[in-house]
Amino acid sequence: MTEKDWTPEEDEAFNEIEKKSNLGKQILQEIKPKRGFVGLTDEEIFAEVKRIDPDEQYLSKALTQFAKDIEAKLKEKNT
């Protein structure tokens, strides 16, 4: 029996098994489009900082820089 002789149901079942196998996972990872690191905008960071320091009296600059430093470290680890 060749692959061309398979019914659509058999083909689908085979594909499900293949996706769960180590080789199948490896193949899927290689063909899956890679998405680049997506960081936060300055506005998104500021909105989160403002949530923690609504009066912007003490922590805003330090928290904003801290968020950017964490984001840079994550980008470094994920690219």
CA 75 – CA 60 distance, rounded (Å):
22
Q: Residue 13, Cβ neighbours under 10 Å: how many?
A: 12
Q: Give the pLDDT of the chain (79 residues) as one tens digit per residue.
A: 455 676 787 777 777 777 677 776 676 667 666 677 888 898 898 888 888 888 877 778 888 888 899 999 988 887 7
Please report, in angstroms and rounded to a whole number, the separation of the first and last CA atoms in the chain. Answer: 44
- Mapped to the 3 state alphabet, what secondary structure does the chain carry? CCHHHCCHHHHHHHHHHHHHCHHHHHHHHHHCCCCCCCCCCHHHHHHHHHHHCCCCCCCHHHHHHHHHHHHHHHHHHHC
